[in-house]
Amino acid sequence: MDEREITLSLLGEMLAKVARPHHADDELPSEVRRKLGLLGLPDVEFATREELIAGLWARKRSVLMAMEPDWGGPGITPPSAA
């Protein structure tokens, strides 16, 4: 796995933990907040879950967009998927 794939995996893991159903007054575990900070999300301590989810999706989109040039385009799409 390269660095982008590892980052995507971590982003997916954090999205699953942050976006799961919760009580309104539930705090995120400190380990989850620490990992979010390592992913470069600002103001992790004071952000709402909604803000964190938006930040995670924005980061995931940027990583996916950086990976897009590696995609070969429609030329490699199997005929059954076209």
- Predicted pLDDT of residue 79: 57
pLDDT digits (tens, 9 = 90+) for 17-28: 998 887 777 888
Mean pLDDT score, 66-74: 63
Cβ atoms of 45 and 33 within 8 Å: the answer is: yes
Region label for 3, one of left (φ > 0), alpha (ψ between -120 and 50) or beta (otherwise) = alpha
- Predicted pLDDT of residue 16: 92
pLDDT band at 69 (very low <50, low <70, confident <90, very high): low
pLDDT at residue 61 greater than cutoff 60:
yes
